Amino acid sequence: MTVVTTATLVGSDIRDQPLQFVKGVGPRMAEVFAKLELHTVGDFFNYIPRSYQDRRQISPIVRLESGEQVLCFGAVRSASLEKAKKTHIFKAIIQDASGSLVAIWFNQPYLKKVITPGKQIIINGKLQFNAYSGERQLTVIDWELYDPVTDQGLSLGIVVPIYGLTQGLYQNKVRKIARGIVSDLLPRIEDPLPEGLRDAWNLAPLAESLRQLHFPESREAYKAARRRVAFDEFFYLQLALLLKRREQKVLPKAIRMQAEGPMLQQFIDVLPFKLTGAQARVISEIKADMASSEVMNRLVQGDVGSGKTEVAVAAMAVAVQSGCQTVLMAPTEILAEQHHYKVRRYLNSLEIPCYFLAGKLTVKQKQAVRQAIETGAPCVVVGTHALIQEPVRFERLGLVVVDEQHRFGVQQRNELQKKGYYPDMLMLTATPIPRSLSLTLYGDLDKSIMDEYPPGRQPIETYRLTPGRKREAYEFARLHLRAGERIYVVFPLVETSPKLELQAATQSAQHIQTQIFPEFKVGLLHGRMKPDEKTAVMESFRRGDIQVLVATTVIEVGVDVPEATVIIIEHAERFGLSQLHQLRGRVGRGTQKGYCLLIGEPKGDESRRRLQALVQCRDGFKIAEADLQIRGPGDFFGVRQSGLPDFKVADLIRDEKILIEAKKRAQECLQTPRTLAPTLEHELYRRMKEFLGGTRLN
Ligand code: ADP
Ligand code: MG
C-alpha cells in the first residue's frame, strides 16, 4: 500500500484522506476507529464528543463538596487492594497541597498495577462522607492518569472533550489525535457556505465551529459552533428534499385523472353513513391532485378511527373511473385482508373488479391475479409486500395507496411506484408525525390532516392498574361480554425464542379460557400462526363466535371490529407509547364507549411517565411528540427504515428553530434555479448523494 503524502493531496479534499495516515493513528488504530465508522479525516471532523468535562479550574481537594459529583486532581499517596466477600475493592489515597481523600474502585483488581504511588491522576466521581470511618470517599465514575511531561496541556486547564469510545480506544489517546487533526488539518477545509451568506444568516465559519465542538473555549463559542453544524445537517437535507420534490412536480404524469365521475359518486352513495367534514375535505384535496398534471405525493395523517380507509377507497374510485388500475398496500396480511373485505363490499355494487394478492396465496391463485392485472383492465388490487415482490406487471397503474405508511420504508414506497409510470401516490398513517419529523423526513410530501372523528364516537377511557388488581380488570370486561360486546387481551412479545413466545401466548389463552372466562369463547392470535389460521380467528372474532381475542401485537395496526369495547393490555410497561396508543385505538370504533385497561408495574420513572401520558392524553399528536422525545427518531419509525440521515449534532426536538430556519434558507436558495452557489451544490451531493438518488439540480 502506498502512503499518501500531503503533497499528493494538494487540490483534493482533505476530508477524503484515510485516517490511517494521520499522525499518531496508523493501521492498527485505524482498524479500531473503523469500528466506529470513522474511516477518513472528514469522518473524524464529525466525530463530535458525546460530552465535555470542564477542567479549566479544578478545586483543591479540601474544598470538594460531599454529596456531589466532583472532579479531583492529585497524586496517589498509597494504594491497596482488599477483598470483601466476592468483591474486590481497590482504594487509593489521593492527595494535593490542600488535603486528601480516598478513591474507591470495585472489581478491578488489575488497577493495583496501574494506579501506583507517585502517579498523578484525574478522577471524576461521587464524593461521600463516610461517618463510620471519618473519611471522605470518592466512588469513581471515570479516571485517567496525568503525565505532566507528555500531556501537552490536553488534560488540565481546558474543557476536555469526552468521545464515544470502543474497545482499544482511550480518552487521552483520542484527545491527542483530535488535537492534531483539529490544529493541523481542520484549518485546511473550505467552508462551502460563502462568507456573504454566512454573515447574512448569522452563522459561524465551519472550521472554527468544528474546532469549538472538539475543544470548546467558551460557552458562547460552543453554542455558535453547535448552531452552525446543526444548521448544516438540516440545511443540506432540506435542499435535497426540495430538489426531489421539485423533480416530482415536473414529472410527466402518464395518466391524468377524471376527478368527477360516476364511480366516486356511486361510492359515496353506497356508504352507509355521511362523510365527516374532514373526510370530505381530504377527498377533495386528493381529487384536485389526481386531476392535475403533476404526480400526487400526498400523506393523509389521521388518528386511529378517523376513517382513512373510506378516503382511500374514494381515491381508488377516481382512479378506476379514469380507466386506471390501482393498488392498496398494507403492512400485514390481516390488515390487507380486512381492507380487501371492506373494499370489495363497497366496490362490488359499482362493478369494479377487486383482487387480493399476498404471500399466502397458492401459485395458481397468484397467477390468476397476475393475468387479470396484465390485461390492463381497470381494477383494484389489495395486498401486502407481495405486491412489490411478485413479478406483477401493471399495464395501467395510476394510483398507489400505502396504508400505515410508517411501517414501510422510503425504499418500499419507491419500489411500488416503479411498478407504474409515475403513478399518483397516497399514503395513510395513523402515527401522527411530530412537526419536526414532518419538516424533515416527510418534507417531500403534501399533507392532509383528518382532524375529526365519525359522529357518535366517544373518547376511550383509559385506566392504569397494578398487577394486583388484574382480577378487577377481567371482572369489568366480563360485564361488557355479558352485554354482547367483545374484548381484546394483549400480551407483549417475549423476546427469548419464538418457541417460548408461542408457548407463553398459548398458555395465557388457555388460562383465560379455563380460569377467567369459561362461559365465553376465547381465541388466540399471534405472529407465528399461518396466515390462514389468522384469518379464520379474525373472522370468528368479527362474527362474534369468539368473544375474547387473546393477541400479541399483530392487532396493533388497523384491525377494525366495531363491537370490541374493552382492551386489556398486560405488561403495559413493555410497550412503546405510540404502540399503546395504536392498541387502544382497536376499541371504541363503533358507537359504544371503549375502555383501555393498562395492567403493569412500571419499572422506572420513565415507564411510569409513559403510562401516565397515555392515561391523561387522548391526542395522538401529543403522544407521538412524547414518544419521539423518549425514543428518538430512529426507534420511533423503526430503525433503518426511517430514511433519515444520522445527525451528529442536530436534535430534531431541541433544534426545531434551527430546522425551520434551515428550511427557509434552503427555499431561498432554490427560488430561482441558478442561485445555489457551486460550493453548496458540491457539498450537497457530497452529503446527500444516496438520498438524492438520480435527482438533478437543473
Ligand atoms: P382508520 O383507518 O382511520 O383508523 P377506519 O377507516 O378503519 O379508520 O374507520 C374506522 C371506523 O369508522 C370504521 O368502522 C368505518 O367504517 C367507520 N367510519 C368511517 N367513516 C365514517 C363516517 N363518516 N361515519 C361513520 N362511521 C365511519
Ligand atoms: Mg386504517
379-393 pLDDT, tens digit per residue, is 999 998 888 777 888
* For the chain, domain boundaries: 1-53+164-189, 58-156, 191-250+645-667+686-698, 262-450, 461-631
Q: Which of 35, 40, 36, 39 has the alpha carbon at shortest distance from 9?
A: 40
The number of the ligand 1 atom at minimal distance from the alpha carbon of 306 is 3
pLDDT tens digits for range 656-682: 899 999 999 999 998 876 668 889 989
Q: Which of 309, 460, 584, 592 to mutate to test the pocket of ligand 1 (most atoms within 8 A of CB)?
A: 309
Instruction: Tell me the mean pLDDT in the region 97-125.
Output: 95
Q: Which CATH class is domain 58-156?
A: mainly beta
Task: Report DSSP state, residue 205.
Answer: -
pLDDT tens readout for residues 287-341: 999 999 888 989 998 887 889 999 999 999 999 999 999 999 988 888 898 899 8
Q: Which residues pair with 91 in a beta bridge?
A: 80, 104
Q: Identify the residue with better confidence: 435 or 318.
A: 318
Asked whether the predicted pLDDT for residue 698 surpasses 50, the reply is yes
- The protein residue with its alpha carbon nearest to ligand 1, atom 2, reads 308
Q: Which residues of 120-155 are buried (b: 16+ CB within 10 A; e: fewer)?
A: bbbbbbebeeeeeeebbbbebeebbebeeeebeebb
- Lining residues, ligand 1, CB within 6 Å: 273, 275-276, 279, 302, 304-310, 430, 454, 558, 560, 562, 589
The lowest-confidence range among 4-8, 60-64, 103-107, 350-354 is 4-8
Task: Specify the pLDDT at position 482.
Answer: 96
Q: What is the mean pLDDT of the chain?
A: 87
Question: Looking at domain 461-631, what is its CATH homologous superfamily?
Answer: P-loop containing nucleotide triphosphate hydrolases (3.40.50.300)
Sign of torsion over alpha carbons 98, 99, 105, 109 = positive
Q: Which atom of ligand 1 is nearest to the CA of 450?
A: 3
Phi-psi domain of 693 (left: phi exceeds 0; alpha: psi -120 through 50; beta: other): left
The values of phi and psi at residue 595, to 5°, are: -130, 140
Question: Can you tell me the distance from the alpha carbon of 513 to that of 526, in angstroms, rounded to the nearest whole number?
Answer: 16
Considering 208-212, 417-421, 463-467, the range whose residues carry the highest mean pLDDT is 208-212
> What pLDDT does residue 488 have?
96
**In testing the pocket of ligand 1, which one of 306, 313, 402, 565 has its CB within 8 Å of the most ligand atoms?**
306
Topology agreement, domain 58-156 and domain 262-450: no
Contact 289, 426 (CB under 8 A): no
What does the pLDDT read at residue 495? Answer: 57
Residue of 267, 273, 300 with the most ligand 1 atoms within 8 Å of its CB, for mutation: 273
Domain 262-450 has CATH 3.40.50.300: yes
Per-residue confidence band for 556, with pLDDT thresholds at 50, 70 and 90: low
Q: What is the pTM of this model?
A: 0.70
- Which stretch, 277-286, 486-495, 591-600, has highest mean pLDDT? 277-286
For position 10, what pLDDT does the model report? 43
Q: How confident is the model at residue 407 (pLDDT cuts 50, 70, 90)?
A: low
Check residue 172 and give its pLDDT.
87
Q: Assign 261 to helix, strand or coil.
A: coil
For residues 109 and 334, which has the higher predicted lDDT (pLDDT)?
109
The one-character DSSP state at 641 is G
Burial degree of 269 (CB within 10 A; 0-12, 13-18, 19+): exposed
DSSP letters for 526-586: -TTS-HHHHHHHHHHHHHTS--EEEE-GGGTTT---TTEEEEEETTGGGS-HHHHHHHHTT
The total number of residues shown for the chain amounts to 698
Collapse the DSSP code of 126 into the 3-class scheme (helix H, G, I; strand E, B; otherwise coil) and give the result.
strand
What was the pLDDT predicted at 351?
A: 85
Q: Which atom of ligand 1 approaches the CA of 590 most closely?
A: 14
Between CA 537 and CA 551 the distance in angstroms is 11
pLDDT: is 139 or 579 the higher one?
139
